[in-house]
Structure 1
Amino acid sequence: MAKTKWGETASAAPAAVWALWDELKTLFPVWSLLPSSFQTPGAWGYSGVDFVSGFRRNPSTLKTFELLKDVDDALFDALSALASLNARRQDQMLQAVIIGYLTIPLSIMALLAELAGGSVMTFLKAHSEAAIQFGVGAALGPIVYFLSHWRSRQIVGVLDLIRIERGQAPFTALELREE
Protein backbone atom coordinates (compact mmCIF):
# COMPACT_ATOMS: atom_id res chain seq x y z
CA MET A 1 0.00 0.00 0.00
CA ALA A 2 1.22 3.48 -0.83
CA LYS A 3 1.96 6.00 1.85
CA THR A 4 0.29 9.38 1.94
CA LYS A 5 1.63 12.41 3.73
CA TRP A 6 -0.65 11.39 6.63
CA GLY A 7 0.86 7.94 7.18
CA GLU A 8 0.14 4.38 6.12
CA THR A 9 -2.98 4.04 4.03
CA ALA A 10 -4.60 1.39 6.19
CA SER A 11 -3.96 2.90 9.61
CA ALA A 12 -6.06 6.07 9.99
CA ALA A 13 -4.02 6.85 13.09
CA PRO A 14 -5.44 9.54 15.35
CA ALA A 15 -2.57 11.95 14.63
CA ALA A 16 -3.18 11.62 10.90
CA VAL A 17 -6.91 12.26 11.27
CA TRP A 18 -6.34 15.36 13.37
CA ALA A 19 -3.68 16.70 10.98
CA LEU A 20 -6.02 16.20 8.06
CA TRP A 21 -8.90 17.78 9.99
CA ASP A 22 -6.73 20.83 10.67
CA GLU A 23 -6.08 21.20 6.93
CA LEU A 24 -9.69 20.58 5.96
CA LYS A 25 -11.27 23.11 8.31
CA THR A 26 -9.02 25.90 7.01
CA LEU A 27 -10.78 25.55 3.65
CA PHE A 28 -14.07 26.67 5.26
CA PRO A 29 -13.39 29.85 7.27
CA VAL A 30 -16.42 31.27 9.03
CA TRP A 31 -15.49 34.86 8.14
CA SER A 32 -15.76 34.14 4.40
CA LEU A 33 -19.27 32.69 4.43
CA LEU A 34 -21.09 35.98 3.89
CA PRO A 35 -18.89 37.24 1.03
CA SER A 36 -18.86 33.81 -0.63
CA SER A 37 -22.64 33.59 -0.42
CA PHE A 38 -22.78 36.18 -3.21
CA GLN A 39 -20.10 34.86 -5.53
CA THR A 40 -19.77 31.07 -5.45
CA PRO A 41 -21.45 28.65 -7.85
CA GLY A 42 -23.14 26.98 -4.88
CA ALA A 43 -24.68 30.25 -3.76
CA TRP A 44 -26.03 30.94 -7.23
CA GLY A 45 -27.46 27.43 -7.31
CA TYR A 46 -29.99 28.03 -4.54
CA SER A 47 -32.88 28.05 -6.94
CA GLY A 48 -34.61 25.30 -8.78
CA VAL A 49 -34.27 21.65 -8.01
CA ASP A 50 -30.49 21.10 -8.12
CA PHE A 51 -28.66 22.40 -5.05
CA VAL A 52 -25.61 20.17 -5.47
CA SER A 53 -24.13 20.90 -8.92
CA GLY A 54 -23.12 24.46 -8.00
CA PHE A 55 -21.99 23.23 -4.58
CA ARG A 56 -19.69 20.76 -6.37
CA ARG A 57 -18.06 23.66 -8.28
CA ASN A 58 -17.39 25.84 -5.20
CA PRO A 59 -13.69 26.69 -4.68
CA SER A 60 -13.72 25.16 -1.18
CA THR A 61 -15.25 21.95 -2.56
CA LEU A 62 -12.66 21.73 -5.34
CA LYS A 63 -9.83 22.29 -2.83
CA THR A 64 -11.27 19.61 -0.55
CA PHE A 65 -11.42 17.11 -3.42
CA GLU A 66 -7.77 17.93 -4.16
CA LEU A 67 -6.77 17.61 -0.49
CA LEU A 68 -8.43 14.22 -0.12
CA LYS A 69 -7.63 12.67 -3.51
CA ASP A 70 -4.85 10.42 -2.14
CA VAL A 71 -6.44 9.72 1.25
CA ASP A 72 -7.34 6.07 1.73
CA ASP A 73 -10.82 4.91 2.68
CA ALA A 74 -10.02 4.27 6.35
CA LEU A 75 -8.60 7.74 6.89
CA PHE A 76 -11.42 9.31 4.89
CA ASP A 77 -14.00 7.45 7.00
CA ALA A 78 -12.35 8.64 10.20
CA LEU A 79 -12.28 12.23 8.90
CA SER A 80 -15.91 12.00 7.83
CA ALA A 81 -16.93 10.67 11.24
CA LEU A 82 -15.03 13.54 12.89
CA ALA A 83 -16.78 16.09 10.65
CA SER A 84 -20.16 14.54 11.48
CA LEU A 85 -19.41 14.69 15.19
CA ASN A 86 -18.34 18.32 14.80
CA ALA A 87 -21.59 19.15 12.98
CA ARG A 88 -23.70 17.51 15.71
CA ARG A 89 -21.78 19.48 18.37
CA GLN A 90 -22.34 22.65 16.33
CA ASP A 91 -26.08 21.88 16.28
CA GLN A 92 -26.10 21.58 20.06
CA MET A 93 -24.16 24.80 20.55
CA LEU A 94 -26.36 26.75 18.15
CA GLN A 95 -29.46 25.62 20.02
CA ALA A 96 -27.92 26.65 23.35
CA VAL A 97 -26.88 30.03 21.96
CA ILE A 98 -30.31 30.70 20.49
CA ILE A 99 -31.92 29.95 23.83
CA GLY A 100 -29.30 31.77 25.90
CA TYR A 101 -28.79 34.82 23.71
CA LEU A 102 -32.21 35.27 22.14
CA THR A 103 -35.08 33.43 23.75
CA ILE A 104 -34.29 34.20 27.39
CA PRO A 105 -33.39 37.91 26.94
CA LEU A 106 -36.38 38.54 24.65
CA SER A 107 -38.70 36.78 27.09
CA ILE A 108 -37.35 38.86 29.96
CA MET A 109 -37.76 42.06 27.93
CA ALA A 110 -41.32 41.13 26.98
CA LEU A 111 -42.17 40.41 30.62
CA LEU A 112 -40.61 43.69 31.77
CA ALA A 113 -42.42 45.61 29.03
CA GLU A 114 -45.70 44.04 30.13
CA LEU A 115 -45.14 44.67 33.83
CA ALA A 116 -43.46 48.06 33.66
CA GLY A 117 -43.67 49.24 30.05
CA GLY A 118 -43.30 52.93 30.78
CA SER A 119 -40.27 52.42 33.00
CA VAL A 120 -38.57 50.19 30.44
CA MET A 121 -39.09 52.74 27.68
CA THR A 122 -37.80 55.54 29.92
CA PHE A 123 -34.74 53.47 30.79
CA LEU A 124 -34.08 52.60 27.12
CA LYS A 125 -34.41 56.24 26.06
CA ALA A 126 -32.07 57.36 28.83
CA HIS A 127 -29.50 54.67 27.99
CA SER A 128 -30.08 54.26 24.27
CA GLU A 129 -26.40 53.85 23.39
CA ALA A 130 -25.94 51.05 25.94
CA ALA A 131 -29.22 49.44 24.83
CA ILE A 132 -28.09 49.48 21.20
CA GLN A 133 -24.70 48.03 22.12
CA PHE A 134 -26.39 45.31 24.14
CA GLY A 135 -28.79 44.55 21.28
CA VAL A 136 -26.00 44.36 18.70
CA GLY A 137 -23.91 42.18 21.00
CA ALA A 138 -26.85 39.89 21.71
CA ALA A 139 -27.47 39.55 17.96
CA LEU A 140 -23.83 39.01 16.96
CA GLY A 141 -23.37 35.96 19.18
CA PRO A 142 -26.08 33.91 17.49
CA ILE A 143 -25.07 35.17 14.04
CA VAL A 144 -21.46 34.03 14.49
CA TYR A 145 -22.60 30.66 15.82
CA PHE A 146 -25.05 30.30 12.93
CA LEU A 147 -22.27 30.97 10.40
CA SER A 148 -20.04 28.44 12.14
CA HIS A 149 -22.91 25.93 12.16
CA TRP A 150 -23.47 26.49 8.43
CA ARG A 151 -19.79 25.88 7.68
CA SER A 152 -19.72 22.67 9.73
CA ARG A 153 -22.71 21.36 7.77
CA GLN A 154 -20.99 22.45 4.55
CA ILE A 155 -17.92 20.36 5.40
CA VAL A 156 -20.14 17.32 5.94
CA GLY A 157 -21.88 18.00 2.63
CA VAL A 158 -18.58 18.20 0.73
CA LEU A 159 -17.43 14.96 2.35
CA ASP A 160 -20.72 13.39 1.27
CA LEU A 161 -20.03 14.47 -2.32
CA ILE A 162 -16.57 12.91 -2.14
CA ARG A 163 -18.01 9.73 -0.65
CA ILE A 164 -20.58 9.53 -3.45
CA GLU A 165 -17.97 10.03 -6.16
CA ARG A 166 -15.70 7.45 -4.54
CA GLY A 167 -18.56 4.95 -4.38
CA GLN A 168 -18.15 4.53 -0.63
CA ALA A 169 -21.01 3.58 1.65
CA PRO A 170 -21.51 5.65 4.84
CA PHE A 171 -19.02 4.67 7.52
CA THR A 172 -21.49 4.49 10.39
CA ALA A 173 -25.17 4.92 11.04
CA LEU A 174 -24.26 8.08 12.98
CA GLU A 175 -23.21 9.77 9.75
CA LEU A 176 -26.65 9.15 8.30
CA ARG A 177 -28.41 10.52 11.36
CA GLU A 178 -30.08 13.88 11.06
CA GLU A 179 -31.06 15.62 14.25
Structure 2
Amino acid sequence: MAKNLVKSERADVWALWDKLKRLFPTWSLLPEAFYTPGAWGYVGVDFVSGFRKNASTLKTFDLLKDVDDARFDALSALANLNARRQEQLLRAVVVGYLTLPLTITALAADLAGDSVMGLLREHTTAAIQIGATITLGPLGYFLSHWRSRQIVGVLDLIRIERGQTPFTALELREE
Protein backbone atom coordinates (compact mmCIF):
# COMPACT_ATOMS: atom_id res chain seq x y z
CA MET A 1 0.00 0.00 0.00
CA ALA A 2 1.31 3.45 -0.85
CA LYS A 3 2.32 5.84 1.86
CA ASN A 4 0.44 9.02 2.60
CA LEU A 5 1.73 12.04 0.74
CA VAL A 6 3.22 14.94 2.67
CA LYS A 7 2.18 18.49 1.86
CA SER A 8 5.01 19.13 -0.65
CA GLU A 9 4.26 15.86 -2.44
CA ARG A 10 0.56 16.79 -2.69
CA ALA A 11 1.58 20.10 -4.28
CA ASP A 12 3.81 18.15 -6.66
CA VAL A 13 0.82 15.99 -7.67
CA TRP A 14 -1.15 19.13 -8.59
CA ALA A 15 1.83 20.42 -10.60
CA LEU A 16 2.03 17.06 -12.38
CA TRP A 17 -1.70 17.18 -13.04
CA ASP A 18 -1.32 20.61 -14.61
CA LYS A 19 1.47 19.36 -16.90
CA LEU A 20 -0.41 16.16 -17.73
CA LYS A 21 -3.69 17.77 -18.73
CA ARG A 22 -1.83 20.18 -21.05
CA LEU A 23 -0.70 17.16 -23.09
CA PHE A 24 -4.35 16.42 -23.95
CA PRO A 25 -5.96 19.65 -25.20
CA THR A 26 -9.62 19.29 -26.09
CA TRP A 27 -9.31 21.44 -29.20
CA SER A 28 -6.83 19.05 -30.84
CA LEU A 29 -8.95 15.90 -30.52
CA LEU A 30 -10.80 16.33 -33.83
CA PRO A 31 -7.72 16.99 -35.99
CA GLU A 32 -5.84 14.16 -34.25
CA ALA A 33 -8.66 11.78 -35.16
CA PHE A 34 -7.28 11.78 -38.71
CA TYR A 35 -3.57 11.16 -38.22
CA THR A 36 -2.57 9.69 -34.84
CA PRO A 37 -1.63 6.03 -34.47
CA GLY A 38 -4.31 5.69 -31.81
CA ALA A 39 -7.02 6.97 -34.13
CA TRP A 40 -5.96 4.59 -36.88
CA GLY A 41 -5.87 1.85 -34.27
CA TYR A 42 -9.66 1.86 -34.02
CA VAL A 43 -9.74 -0.79 -36.71
CA GLY A 44 -9.51 -4.46 -35.86
CA VAL A 45 -9.17 -6.05 -32.49
CA ASP A 46 -6.17 -4.17 -31.00
CA PHE A 47 -7.16 -0.71 -29.76
CA VAL A 48 -4.14 -0.20 -27.47
CA SER A 49 -1.00 -0.62 -29.60
CA GLY A 50 -1.66 2.51 -31.66
CA PHE A 51 -2.78 4.33 -28.52
CA ARG A 52 0.60 3.51 -26.97
CA LYS A 53 2.32 5.20 -29.96
CA ASN A 54 0.43 8.52 -29.78
CA ALA A 55 2.60 11.58 -29.18
CA SER A 56 0.59 12.52 -26.08
CA THR A 57 1.07 9.00 -24.68
CA LEU A 58 4.82 9.10 -25.31
CA LYS A 59 5.07 12.54 -23.69
CA THR A 60 3.11 11.29 -20.67
CA PHE A 61 5.42 8.32 -20.26
CA ASP A 62 8.36 10.74 -20.36
CA LEU A 63 6.72 13.15 -17.90
CA LEU A 64 6.05 10.39 -15.37
CA LYS A 65 9.17 8.23 -15.80
CA ASP A 66 10.78 9.45 -12.54
CA VAL A 67 7.57 9.81 -10.52
CA ASP A 68 7.40 7.48 -7.53
CA ASP A 69 4.51 5.06 -7.02
CA ALA A 70 2.76 7.14 -4.33
CA ARG A 71 2.63 10.27 -6.48
CA PHE A 72 1.66 8.24 -9.53
CA ASP A 73 -1.19 6.64 -7.58
CA ALA A 74 -2.38 10.05 -6.39
CA LEU A 75 -2.20 11.43 -9.94
CA SER A 76 -4.08 8.42 -11.28
CA ALA A 77 -6.78 8.79 -8.62
CA LEU A 78 -7.08 12.48 -9.53
CA ALA A 79 -7.43 11.64 -13.24
CA ASN A 80 -10.12 9.07 -12.45
CA LEU A 81 -12.01 11.54 -10.28
CA ASN A 82 -11.81 14.09 -13.09
CA ALA A 83 -13.15 11.54 -15.59
CA ARG A 84 -16.10 10.65 -13.33
CA ARG A 85 -16.95 14.34 -12.90
CA GLN A 86 -16.66 14.84 -16.67
CA GLU A 87 -19.11 11.96 -17.15
CA GLN A 88 -21.58 13.55 -14.72
CA LEU A 89 -21.45 16.88 -16.53
CA LEU A 90 -21.72 15.28 -19.96
CA ARG A 91 -24.89 13.47 -18.90
CA ALA A 92 -26.39 16.71 -17.58
CA VAL A 93 -25.47 18.55 -20.77
CA VAL A 94 -26.94 15.86 -22.99
CA VAL A 95 -30.22 16.03 -21.10
CA GLY A 96 -30.25 19.81 -20.71
CA TYR A 97 -28.98 20.86 -24.13
CA LEU A 98 -30.18 18.06 -26.38
CA THR A 99 -32.95 15.90 -25.01
CA LEU A 100 -35.16 18.62 -23.54
CA PRO A 101 -34.96 21.14 -26.42
CA LEU A 102 -35.45 18.44 -29.06
CA THR A 103 -38.40 16.98 -27.16
CA ILE A 104 -40.01 20.38 -26.77
CA THR A 105 -39.42 21.20 -30.45
CA ALA A 106 -40.83 17.86 -31.59
CA LEU A 107 -43.88 18.28 -29.35
CA ALA A 108 -44.47 21.84 -30.59
CA ALA A 109 -44.06 20.72 -34.22
CA ASP A 110 -46.55 17.91 -33.63
CA LEU A 111 -49.11 20.16 -31.93
CA ALA A 112 -48.67 23.26 -34.07
CA GLY A 113 -46.52 22.23 -37.03
CA ASP A 114 -47.48 25.06 -39.35
CA SER A 115 -46.84 27.69 -36.67
CA VAL A 116 -43.43 26.24 -35.79
CA MET A 117 -42.40 26.04 -39.45
CA GLY A 118 -43.59 29.63 -39.99
CA LEU A 119 -41.60 30.78 -36.96
CA LEU A 120 -38.49 29.00 -38.25
CA ARG A 121 -38.90 30.57 -41.70
CA GLU A 122 -39.31 34.04 -40.22
CA HIS A 123 -36.30 33.64 -37.90
CA THR A 124 -34.00 31.37 -39.90
CA THR A 125 -30.77 32.99 -38.68
CA ALA A 126 -31.81 32.73 -35.02
CA ALA A 127 -32.93 29.12 -35.55
CA ILE A 128 -29.55 28.23 -37.09
CA GLN A 129 -27.70 29.96 -34.24
CA ILE A 130 -29.76 28.13 -31.62
CA GLY A 131 -29.32 24.84 -33.48
CA ALA A 132 -25.55 25.37 -33.66
CA THR A 133 -25.38 26.23 -29.96
CA ILE A 134 -27.31 23.18 -28.83
CA THR A 135 -25.09 21.05 -31.08
CA LEU A 136 -21.64 22.56 -30.53
CA GLY A 137 -22.03 23.02 -26.76
CA PRO A 138 -22.54 19.31 -26.09
CA LEU A 139 -19.89 18.45 -28.68
CA GLY A 140 -17.36 20.46 -26.66
CA TYR A 141 -18.31 18.61 -23.50
CA PHE A 142 -18.13 15.29 -25.32
CA LEU A 143 -14.61 16.05 -26.58
CA SER A 144 -13.52 17.10 -23.08
CA HIS A 145 -14.97 13.90 -21.64
CA TRP A 146 -13.17 11.84 -24.31
CA ARG A 147 -9.88 13.50 -23.39
CA SER A 148 -10.42 12.86 -19.67
CA ARG A 149 -10.95 9.17 -20.42
CA GLN A 150 -7.89 9.22 -22.67
CA ILE A 151 -5.75 10.51 -19.78
CA VAL A 152 -7.01 7.65 -17.59
CA GLY A 153 -6.22 5.19 -20.38
CA VAL A 154 -2.66 6.44 -20.73
CA LEU A 155 -2.17 6.23 -16.97
CA ASP A 156 -3.50 2.66 -17.13
CA LEU A 157 -0.87 1.84 -19.78
CA ILE A 158 1.84 3.29 -17.54
CA ARG A 159 0.50 1.34 -14.57
CA ILE A 160 0.54 -1.88 -16.60
CA GLU A 161 4.09 -1.32 -17.78
CA ARG A 162 5.22 -0.50 -14.24
CA GLY A 163 3.54 -3.63 -12.90
CA GLN A 164 1.49 -1.61 -10.42
CA THR A 165 -1.92 -2.69 -9.24
CA PRO A 166 -4.77 -0.17 -8.96
CA PHE A 167 -4.41 2.06 -5.92
CA THR A 168 -8.01 2.29 -4.70
CA ALA A 169 -11.45 0.93 -5.36
CA LEU A 170 -12.36 4.46 -6.50
CA GLU A 171 -9.99 4.12 -9.45
CA LEU A 172 -11.63 0.89 -10.50
CA ARG A 173 -15.18 2.19 -10.19
CA GLU A 174 -17.13 2.64 -13.38
CA GLU A 175 -20.38 4.52 -13.23
| TM-score relative to the length of structure 2 | 0.95
Q: What's the counterpart of residue 70 of structure 1?
A: 66
% identical aligned pairs? 75
For these two proteins, the number of residue pairs brought into alignment is 170
Write the letter of the residue equivalent to 1:176.
Answer: L
Structure 1 position 14, deviation (Å): 2.0
The yes-or-no answer on 1:96 pairing with 2:84 is: no
Q: How large is the Cα RMSD of the aligned pairs?
A: 1.0
Q: Note the residue ranges of structure 2 that are not aligned, 5 or more in a row.
A: none
Q: SS of 1:75's equivalent?
A: helix
Q: What's the counterpart of residue 106 of structure 2?
A: 110
Give the whole-Å Cα distance in 1 for the aligned partners of 2:50 and 2:111.
Answer: 51
Give the whole-Å Cα distance in 2 for the aligned partners of 1:22 and 1:53.
Answer: 26
Structure 1 position 41, deviation (Å): 0.4
Q: Note the residue ranges of structure 1 that are not aligned, 5 or more in a row.
A: 1-9
Write the letter of the residue equivalent to 1:90.
Answer: Q
Q: SS of 1:38's equivalent?
A: coil
The yes-or-no answer on 1:55 pairing with 2:62 is: no
| TM-score relative to the length of structure 1 | 0.93
Q: What's the counterpart of residue 19 of structure 1?
A: 15
Write the letter of the residue equivalent to 2:159.
Answer: R
Structure 1 position 13, deviation (Å): 2.5
Write the letter of the residue equivalent to 2:66.
Answer: D
Give the whole-Å Cα distance in 2 for the aligned partners of 1:92 and 1:31.
Answer: 21
**Bigger RCO (CA 8 Å, 6+ sep):** 2
Alignment of 1:95-174 (within 5 A): 95-174=91-170
Of 56, 77, 82, 1:86 maps to 82
Q: What's the counterpart of residue 5 of structure 1?
A: none
Q: SS of 1:178's equivalent?
A: coil
Consecutive aligned runs of 4 or more in structure 1 exceeding 3 Å deviation: none
Write the letter of the residue equivalent to 1:103.
Answer: T
